[in-house]
Amino acid sequence: MNSREKQNMELFSYIENLDNRKLEEIILKLAQVFGSEKIVFASSLSIEDQVITDIIAKKINNIKIFTLDTGMLPKETIELIDITEKKYNIKIERVMPDETAVLEMIRIHGANLYYESVEKRKLCCHTRKILPLLKRLAVVNVWITGLRREQSITREHAGKIEFDEKFGIIKVNPLMYWTTQDVWKYIGENNVPYNVLYDRGYQSVGCASCSRAVKPGEDLRSGRWWWEDPSRKECGLHINPKNETKARKNESA
């Protein structure tokens, strides 16, 4: 654990009691502790992330928003970035993977490696998402996300405010206890722009090749990497070792 990670862990004890506060209250308190320049919101342009963007744009100043542009996003997601920037008069930073690393991966494994095995799919996610995220988070103390417990069994043990051991950073998941109905209610009442793919049956949108529409009654993230075991379908961005341990204990109980 480096000095930055140790500092983040120590400061986490001061803010974990904010769990029952609203998003804007949590962020304002964090800004007092760290400074707003040390807080970032990572948006995938999901319905959850669009809710958070709406709140940040209207009620909080100087919180930077970025998205991981893997080079494989659906055109509908790219279009939504532009729509969102114009509506809120904000700039969403596009964090992209290292081009050389991507080309080398494709040279060795082929362009569609993610369909061949879980290991190769995770390699693609690691190259296109994890490494760029690591680089972006290395200069901040707080990472805001749109995670919700209802999204999948791999997220049901996450907390609203937690210390992410994998990235050595304080992680804030303000919508953790929201339901899908809560999210859509907010979007409707506040005229929040959202990805049109949701109107076509998508419930989770990532890279174009790894996302599809889902059937009624299916898990919210069943359209992501649908060819894999649903109990382990994560790209690696939101896997906290502590939560993984809890999940495994429940599975074996």
Active site residues: 235
Cα 50 to Cα 109: distance, rounded to the nearest angstrom:
35
Tokens 């894999």, residue located: 228
Helix%, strand%, coil% for the chain, nearest 5: 50, 10, 40
Contact 27, 63 (CB under 8 A): yes
Residues in contact with 3: Cβ distance below 8 Å, sequence separation at least 6, in sequence order: none
Closest CA to 184 of 234, 207, 150, 161: 150
Task: With CA atoms as reference, report the closest residue to 43 among 80, 97, 86.
Answer: 80
* CA atoms of 250 and 227, how far apart (whole Å): 24
17, 142, 221 from 37: Cα distances, Å: 22, 10, 32
Binding residues: 124-125, 207, 210
Give the residue numbers of the binding site for [4Fe-4S] cluster.
124-125, 207, 210
Task: Give the up-direction half-sphere exposure of residue 137: CA atoms within 13 A in the CB hemisphere.
Answer: 25
118-125 and 99-109 are packed helices; what angle lies between their axes, rounded to 10 degrees? 160
